[in-house]
A and B are shown apart, each in its own frame.
Chain A
Amino acid sequence: MRRGALVLLWMALIIVSCTRETVDESPPLFKTPSGHSTEVTFANTLAESDSLNILDYLYFYNGGGVAVGDINNDGLQDIYLSGNQVQNKLYLNEGNLKFTDITTNSKTGGNNSWSTGAIMFDANADGYLDIYVRAVVGINDFSGHDELFINNGDGTFTEQAEAYGLDFKDYGTTAAVLDYDLDGDLDIYLLNHAIHTESSFGKASLRNKRTEKTGDKLLRNDGNHFTDVSEQMGIYGGINGYGLGISVADFNQDGWPDIYVGNDFHEDDYYYINEGGVRFRESLKEHFPHTSRFSMGNDNSDLNGDGFPDIISLDMLPDDEVALKASEGDDNIQTQKLRTERFGYHYQFTRNMLFVNQPGYQFKEQALSSGIAATDWSWSALFADFDHDGVQDLFIANGIPKRPNNLDFINFISSDKIQNRINESRLLDNEALDLMPSGATPNRLFKGGGDLNFKDKSQTWLASQPSVSGASALADLDNDGDLDIVVNNINKEATLYINQTDTTATSVQLKFEYTAKNPFGIGTKVFAYAGGKTQYKELYTARGFQASSQPLVHFGFPKNTTIDSLKVIWPDNTYQTERNITTNSLVKLSPRASTPFDYHSLLPKNEKLFSKTPGNLGIDYTHKEDDYIDFNRQKLIPYQLSDRGPATAVGDINNDGVDDIYFGSSKFTSSQIYLGGDSAFAKAYIEPLKKQSKTEDKTAIIQDGKIIVGTAGADFSATNTALGDYILKLDDSLSKQPLNLLGNTSVIAPNDYDNDGDMDLFIGHQVITGDFGTAPESVLLKNNNGKYTVDKNNNLGNIGMVTDAVWTDLNDDNQKDLIVIGEWMEPQFYINNDGVLSKEKLTTEMLTGLWQTIAPLDIDDDGDLDYLLGNWGTNSKFTATEGEPLKMYHADFDNNGQTETLVATARNGDYYPIQNLPELATQLVSLKKKYSTNNDFAGKTISEIIAAKSLSKAQELNVTTLKSGYLKNEKGSFTFVPFPSSLQVAPLLDFVVFDFTNDGKKEALAGGNYFGTKPYHGRLDSFSGALIKSEQEIIDGYTLGLDFAQKSVRKLSIITHNNINYLLVTFNNEPAQVYTIETTQ
Chain B
Amino acid sequence: MKTQYTLIVLLTALITLSSCSKKSEPIVITPDHFHNAIDKVTEVIIHDIFSPPVASRIYAYPNIAAYEILAVNNPSFTSLSGQLTNFTAIPAPAKDASINYELAALVAHMDMSKRLIFSEQDIEVYRDSLYSGWQELNEEEFVQSRDYGLQVSNHIAAWMDGDNYKQTRTMPKFSVRSDEPSRWQPTPPAYMDGIEPHWNKIRPFVINAADQFKPVPPPAFSLEKDSDFYKELKEVYDISQQITKDGDNSEEIAIAQFWDCNPYVSVTRGHLMFATKKITPGGHWVGITKIASKKAGLDVVHTLHAYTKTTIAMYDAFISCWDEKYRSNLIRPETLINDHIDDSWKPILQTPPFPEYVSGHSVVSGAAAESLTSIFGNNFSFNDDTEIAYGLPIRNFKSFRAAAQEAAVSRMYGGIHYRAAVDVGLNQGKDLGKFVVSELDMKVETAVSVN
1/0 contact trace for B156-179 toward A, CB 8 Å? 000000000011011111111111
Segment from B3-11, B271-279, B407-415 that makes contact with A: B271-279
Interchain CA distance A631-B169 in the complex, whole Å? 14
A1023 to chain B, nearest CB (A): 27
A335 and B391 contact, Cβ closer than 8 Å, known pairs A328-B273, A411-B275: no
A208 adjacent to chain B (CB < 8 Å):
no
A113 adjacent to chain B (CB < 8 Å):
no
1/0 contact trace for A625-644 toward B, CB 8 Å? 00111011101000000000
Interchain CA distance A678-B240 in the complex, whole Å? 66
Question: A58 to B176, Cβ gap below 8 A?
Answer: no
Segment from B117-125, B425-433, B441-449 that makes contact with A: B117-125
Question: A923 to B269, Cβ gap below 8 A?
Answer: no
B267 adjacent to chain A (CB < 8 Å):
yes
Interchain CA distance A628-B174 in the complex, whole Å? 11
Interchain CA distance A631-B191 in the complex, whole Å? 17
B428 to chain A, nearest CB (A): 28
Contacts of A418 in B (CB 8 A): 274
Contacts of A162 in B (CB 8 A): none
Question: Which listed residue (B47, B186, B268, B275) contacts A198, Cβ 8 A?
Answer: B268
- Of residues 309 through 362 on chain A, the ones whose CB sits less than 8 Å from some CB of chain B are 316, 328, 332, 334-335, 337-338, 341-342
A interface, over-half SS: loop
Question: A632 to B343, Cβ gap below 8 A?
Answer: no
Question: B186 to A338, Cβ gap below 8 A?
Answer: yes
A415 and B275 contact, Cβ closer than 8 Å, known pairs A420-B391, A422-B267: yes
Question: B272 to A54, Cβ gap below 8 A?
Answer: yes
B77 to chain A, nearest CB (A): 33
Interchain CA distance A638-B390 in the complex, whole Å? 41
A633 and B274 contact, Cβ closer than 8 Å, known pairs A338-B185, A928-B118: no
A202 adjacent to chain B (CB < 8 Å):
yes
In the complex, residue of chain A having the shortest beta-carbon distance to the beta carbon of B48: A928
Segment from A20-28, A892-900, A1041-1049 that makes contact with B: A892-900
B188 adjacent to chain A (CB < 8 Å):
yes
Contacts of B48 in A (CB 8 A): 928
Question: B276 to A200, Cβ gap below 8 A?
Answer: no
**30 residue pairs from A and B, CB less than 8 Å apart:** A198-B270, A199-B188, A199-B189, A199-B268, A265-B270, A316-B271, A332-B191, A334-B173, A334-B176, A334-B191, A335-B191, A338-B186, A338-B191, A341-B178, A342-B178, A404-B272, A409-B274, A410-B273, A410-B274, A415-B277, A628-B175, A635-B173, A894-B169, A896-B166, A896-B169, A896-B170, A897-B167, A898-B170, A923-B170, A929-B120
Interchain CA distance A203-B343 in the complex, whole Å? 9
B201 to chain A, nearest CB (A): 13
Question: B173 to A405, Cβ gap below 8 A?
Answer: no
B341 to chain A, nearest CB (A): 14
A606 adjacent to chain B (CB < 8 Å):
no
Question: B271 to A932, Cβ gap below 8 A?
Answer: no
Could you list 6 further interchain pairs (A-B, Cβ under 8 angstroms) beyond the known A341-B178, A627-B175, A894-B170?
Answer: A418-B274, A419-B274, A629-B175, A635-B170, A900-B170, A923-B169
B274 to chain A, nearest CB (A): 3
Question: Which listed residue (A202, A294, A419, A898) contacts B277, Cβ 8 A?
Answer: A419
Question: B271 to A58, Cβ gap below 8 A?
Answer: yes
Interface range on chain B (Cβ under 8 Å from partner): 35 or more
Question: Which listed residue (A197, A627, A635, A896) contacts B269, Cβ 8 A?
Answer: A197
B35 adjacent to chain A (CB < 8 Å):
no
B193 adjacent to chain A (CB < 8 Å):
yes
B114 to chain A, nearest CB (A): 10
Question: Which listed residue (A199, A338, A422) contacts B176, Cβ 8 A?
Answer: A338
- Of residues 243 through 285 on chain A, the ones whose CB sits less than 8 Å from some CB of chain B are 265
1/0 contact trace for A975-1012 toward B, CB 8 Å? 00000000000000000000000000000000000000
In the complex, residue of chain A having the shortest beta-carbon distance to the beta carbon of B335: A342
B interface, over-half SS: loop
Interchain CA distance A900-B178 in the complex, whole Å? 29
6 A-B pairs closest in CB distance: A58-B270, A414-B274, A200-B188, A199-B189, A404-B272, A632-B173
B346 adjacent to chain A (CB < 8 Å):
yes
Interchain CA distance A533-B280 in the complex, whole Å? 68
B84 adjacent to chain A (CB < 8 Å):
no
A932 and B166 contact, Cβ closer than 8 Å, known pairs A335-B191, A338-B178: no
B279 to chain A, nearest CB (A): 12
B102 to chain A, nearest CB (A): 29
Interchain CA distance A928-B44 in the complex, whole Å? 13
- Of residues 168 through 214 on chain B, the ones whose CB sits less than 8 Å from some CB of chain A are 169-179, 185-186, 188-189, 191-193
Q: Which residues of A contact B (CB under 8 A)?
A: 54-55, 58-59, 197-203, 265, 294, 316, 328, 332, 334-335, 337-338, 341-342, 404-405, 409-412, 414-415, 418-420, 422-424, 627-629, 631-633, 635, 894, 896-898, 900, 922-923, 925, 928-929, 932
Interchain CA distance A265-B192 in the complex, whole Å? 17
Question: Which listed residue (B120, B188, B274, B338) contacts A415, Cβ 8 A?
Answer: B274
Contacts of A59 in B (CB 8 A): 270
A114 to chain B, nearest CB (A): 15
In the complex, residue of chain B having the shortest beta-carbon distance to the beta carbon of A628: B175
B49 adjacent to chain A (CB < 8 Å):
yes
Contacts of A405 in B (CB 8 A): 271-273
- Of residues 130 through 177 on chain B, the ones whose CB sits less than 8 Å from some CB of chain A are 166-167, 169-177
B182 to chain A, nearest CB (A): 14
A332 and B193 contact, Cβ closer than 8 Å, known pairs A411-B275, A627-B177: yes
Contacts of B188 in A (CB 8 A): 199-201
Interchain CA distance A923-B171 in the complex, whole Å? 9
Question: A404 to B270, Cβ gap below 8 A?
Answer: yes
Interchain CA distance A328-B119 in the complex, whole Å? 21
Question: A896 to B273, Cβ gap below 8 A?
Answer: no
Contacts of A294 in B (CB 8 A): 271
Contacts of B171 in A (CB 8 A): 633
1/0 contact trace for B98-122 toward A, CB 8 Å? 0000000000000000000011110
B247 to chain A, nearest CB (A): 14
Question: Which listed residue (A55, A198, A423) contacts B276, Cβ 8 A?
Answer: A423
B165 to chain A, nearest CB (A): 9
In the complex, residue of chain B having the shortest beta-carbon distance to the beta carbon of A436: B272
A1062 to chain B, nearest CB (A): 34
Contacts of A635 in B (CB 8 A): 170, 173
Contacts of A415 in B (CB 8 A): 46, 274-277
